[in-house]
Structure 1
Amino acid sequence: MTKTLLCGMLLLLAGGVQAGDWPQWRGPYQNGSANERNLPAVWSATENLVWAVDLPGPAAATPVVAGGRVFVSSTAAGSPDLLALCFRARDGKLLWRRQAGTVKRTPPSNTMASPSPVTDGKRVYFFYGTGELAAFEVDGTPRWSRDLAQEYGQFSLMFGYSSSPLLHEGRLYIQVLRCQKPYEWSGPGEWPTDSFLLAVDAATGKTLWKHARQTDARDESQDAYTTPALYGRGRQAKVLVAGADYVTAHDPATGEEVWRLAFNPRQRRNWRLIPTPVPGNGLVYAVTPRGRNPLFAIPADRSGTLAWSDLAWTFERDTPDVCVPLLYRERLYVLDDTTPVLSCLDAATGRQIWQTPLKAGGPYRASPLGADGKVYCINEAGEVTVLAAGDTLLVLSQFTVGEGPCQATIVAAAGRLFLRTAKRLWCVGQ
C-alpha cells in the first residue's frame, strides 16, 4: 500500500464517511482521487448512461455523494433563489429541494452557487457566495442556518466568493480572504477590513473561533478562491489556507498559525489565487497565480516563517491558473488550463515524467479526476479527455458531452461517475 493511499484512508476514516463516497470538494482524500473501479472511458446519451436529470439552473459547484444520495448546489433560472438539491444516486430521483440562499448581486462569471456542499453522511452543509450557510439532515430536515456576510461584512472578491467549506471532526472550516475595497459589482454597506479563517460547530452552527489571517497583500492580491484543505490527522493535523500572497498552516483546534510561506516577493497587486493546496506524501503542493508560474512542494512538518529554500521542489512551466493539481498513485497531474497542457510529475521529486497538449482546447475550469487507473479532464465546452494514469502517456478517449459551460469537476463515487453540466446532472457507468 502506498504512503499516499494509506494517509488518504486514515483521513477518510477520521472524517466518518464511507468507502465509495465523495463527501467534499476534492473528494475523500482531498487530492482529486477515488478508489472506484470499472468506470467507463467514454459515455454519451446512448452509451454508458445510467441516468440524467435536468437541473433548475447553472452553477460551478461540484456534486458530493454519500450514502446513496447526490447533493447539488444550484441556481434557479429566472429566480434569485439559491437551492440545495438531493437526488437518489441509483436512479436520479429528486428526493428533496430547499431554498438555502438568495442572490442579491452577481459578479462577472459567478452564479453565487460556486462553493460545493460537504457532508459527513448524516448531515449536509450548503454554502454560497452570498455568505449564506445552511445545515440539513440528509433527509432534508433543516437544522440551522447563518448569513456570514451579514455577520462579518461583505465577501468582496472581484469574481465573487467561491471557496467551499472543509469538514473535519465535527467542525466546518471556512476561509474568507477578501479585498478591503469594493469592486464595481459590490453593493452598499459597511466595508470589511479583515480576512479570516472561521471554525463552526457543525452540529449547532455556532462559531468556535475566528482567526484573523494577517497579510501585506494589496488590491486584488488579497482575493483567494481556494478552499481550505486538511493535512494529517490527530495532533499532526493542520488546516491549510492558500491565498493573499501566503500559504499558511493552522492548528484545527485554535486556528493558531503553525507556519507560513510567502509566494509574491514582487508584491504584485493582481496576484489573486484560485487553485486549492493539495496535501500528501509529507508535502503540501501549492500553485502560484495566473498560470505558468511556479508550482511548489512544501514540507508539511515545518514551523514558523518558511523561505523558498525550504521547499522540497518546484516546477516552473505549464502550471494552472484555475485547475487544482491531481495527486493519484504517487503522481501529480498538473493541468495548464489555458494552453491546455497536461503534465505528469513524480510527486516526491517534481520530476516531469511526461507532458502532452490536450486536443480539446481551453479554457478548463473543472479540475482533473483520478480513478480506476484513469485521469478524467473536461473543458468548459463539455469536451472530455480520458488518459491512462501512470508513467506511459496514453490517451484512451476524447468525446463531447456539451451542455456548457461545464465548470464542475467530474466525481467518482458508488461505482459511478457523476457530472454536472450547465443543464443536467449525469450519472454514467458500465
Structure 2
Amino acid sequence: MLECLVAVLCLAAAPAGNWPAFRGTGDSVSQATTLPLKWSETDGIAWRSGLTGYGQSSPVVWHNRVFVTTVDGPQKERAVLACVDLASGEALWQDELKSAQTAEVTDYISRAAPTPAVDGKRVYAFFETGNLAAWTHDGERLWERNLIEDYGPFTGNHGVGSSIALTDRAVIVLVDHSGPSYLLAIDKASGETVWKVDRPDTVAWSSPIATDDGRIVVSANGRCEAFDAESGKQLWKRAGIEGNTVPSATVSGDLVIVGSKEVGSNLAIRIPADPQVPETTIAWKSSDATATFSSPLVYNGHVYLVNRTGVAFCLNEQTGETVWKQRIGGSCWASPLGGCGRVYFFEKSGTTTVMSADGTANVLAENVLPTEDRVYGVAAVEGRFVIRLGSELICIEGTD
C-alpha cells in the first residue's frame, strides 16, 4: 500500500530501471519499489569498479548500463566518458576527448563535475574543459562541440560545475562563470545550436532543470528564472535571492523550491499554470533552513535540505514551516534522495543516514562505508544504488 502511494505522489520521478540525468529527472526521487536499506563495508556491496582519472559527477543509468565521466592527466588533458555494466561492474567501453581547455588539477577546481545525461538513443556529456559530445549507448561518438572555440574560455577560480538537462529535442547547457555567461540549447541529433541566451558575468555551479511542461528553470546567483524550452524566451524571473550559487531548483507542481546557503533565501516560488504568464509570487520563506552544496528534495509533502555542517531540515512543502531539524553524521555533497517512503542522506564521508519520510525524523539505518575519497553523487534504480567516488563506482544491493 505504501509503495503504491509513493508511486502516485512521484509521477515525475525517474523510471525504476533508469536514472537518466543529474538527480534522476531533476528531483532526486526514485520510483523503485525496492531500494537498499542497510549495507556496510562487508555486506550488501554488489561490485566495485575503478575508473580512469577522477571525477565529481554523478553516474547515470539506462537499463543495464551505467555512464560516468572523469578527467585524466595532470592538466586535465583528457575528458573521459566510461560505460560500466550495471549487473557486474565490468567496464564495457570508454572514449576520451582531447580537452578544449586544460587546467592544473587541484582540490579547488572542478574535475568532471557536470553530470552526463542519457535517453533511449544517446548519451551526452559536458565537461568543464569546454567539451560537449554525444555517443550511442555502444560508444560510437556521434558529434562533438568545442564551447571554448565557439564562445570563449571558461574563467573563474573554481571551474564550471553545472550539469546538463534534456528536453525532447535538446541538450540544455548552463555556463555561468566570470566571463560572458550563457544558457544554451543544442540539438540532440545533430549537435547544432538551437538557441542561446546571453547572461551577465555571474559565477554559479547550479544546474538547469527541464520540466515536463516545456520550461527550463535556473536558480543561480541572486535570481531564479524560467525559459521556454523551444525558443529560449524568458518566461519569468525572481530576483533578490542570496547564496543560491550551488543548489539547483526543484520543481513540484506549481512550486519552485530554491535552496541557498543563506538564511531567508530558502523559499518557494508559486508559478502560474500557464507557462506564458510572467507573474509569480513567493509562497513561503524558511526562517532557519539552509542548503549549502546539495539541492532541495521534495518528497511526500515535505522539503528536505542539508547544510555544510550536516544539519538536515524537514519543512512543510506548502507552508515552509520547519517540521524538524537534526544533525546527521556529516556534510553531504550529493543531494538527499527520496524513495520507498525513505529519505537517504549520502554524506561525503561514505556514511548514509536513512530516515523515514513521514515527518517524524525517525532514523531507520546508518550505513557506514569508510572511504578516503569523497562521495559525490548517486544513482537509484530498482533494488540498487550506484555511488560515485572520485575514481570508483560502488554498487549497493544491501537489504530492504
Instruction: Name the TM-score, length of structure 2 as normaliser.
Output: 0.90
1:202 to 164, 183, 188: 188
What SS is found at the alignment partner of 2:56? coil
Shift of 1:332: 1.0
Counterpart in the other structure of 1:356:
326
Are residues 169 and 4 of structure 1, via their aligned partners in 2, closer, same or farther at CA, if it must alter by over 3 Å?
A: farther
User: Contact conserved, 1:56 with 1:77, CA < 8 A, in 2?
Assistant: no
What SS is found at the alignment partner of 1:33? coil
Shift of 1:70: 0.3
Shift of 1:20: 2.0
Matched, 1:36 2:13: no
Matched, 1:66 2:62: yes
Counterpart residue identity of residue 216, structure 2: V
What SS is found at the alignment partner of 2:219? strand
1:411 to 365, 370, 379: 379
Q: Distance in 2 between matches of 1:83 and 1:408?
A: 17
Counterpart in the other structure of 1:226:
206
Residues 231-272 of structure 1: CA deviation (Å, up to 9, x unaligned): 342xxx21111213211110111101011010248xxxxx56
Shift of 1:37: 2.8
Counterpart in the other structure of 2:315:
345
Counterpart in the other structure of 1:178:
177
User: Contact conserved, 2:6 with 2:339, CA < 8 A, in 1?
Assistant: no
Counterpart residue identity of residue 322, structure 2: Q
Matched, 1:424 2:392: yes
Q: Distance in 1 between matches of 2:7 and 2:320?
A: 19
Shift of 1:403: 2.5
1:249 to 204, 222, 226: 226
Q: Distance in 1 between matches of 2:389 and 2:375?
A: 7
Shift of 1:4: 9.6
Counterpart residue identity of residue 150, structure 2: E
Matched, 1:81 2:78: yes
User: Contact conserved, 1:345 with 1:351, CA < 8 A, in 2?
Assistant: yes
User: Contact conserved, 1:380 with 1:404, CA < 8 A, in 2?
Assistant: no
Counterpart in the other structure of 1:162:
161
Matched, 1:300 2:300: no
Q: Distance in 2 between matches of 1:200 and 1:314?
A: 35
Shift of 1:39: 2.0
Residues 35-72 of structure 1: CA deviation (Å, up to 9, x unaligned): 11332222234211111111223311000001210001
What SS is found at the alignment partner of 2:24? coil
Q: Distance in 2 between matches of 1:162 and 1:246?
A: 18
Are residues 117 and 7 of structure 1, via their aligned partners in 2, closer, same or farther at CA, if it must alter by over 3 Å?
A: farther
Are residues 200 and 20 of structure 1, via their aligned partners in 2, closer, same or farther at CA, if it must alter by over 3 Å?
A: same
| Equivalences, count | 390
Counterpart in the other structure of 1:191:
none
Counterpart in the other structure of 1:188:
none
User: Contact conserved, 1:20 with 1:415, CA < 8 A, in 2?
Assistant: no
Shift of 1:348: 1.7
Listed as ranges, the gaps of 5+ residues in structure 1 are 13-17, 181-193, 266-270
Instruction: Name the TM-score, length of structure 1 as normaliser.
Output: 0.84
Counterpart residue identity of residue 310, structure 2: P
Are residues 5 and 42 of structure 1, via their aligned partners in 2, closer, same or farther at CA, if it must alter by over 3 Å?
A: closer
Q: Distance in 2 between matches of 1:240 and 1:379?
A: 27
What SS is found at the alignment partner of 2:386? strand
Taking every aligned residue pair, what percent have the same amino acid on both sides?
29
What SS is found at the alignment partner of 1:316? coil
Counterpart residue identity of residue 393, structure 2: L
Counterpart in the other structure of 1:97:
94
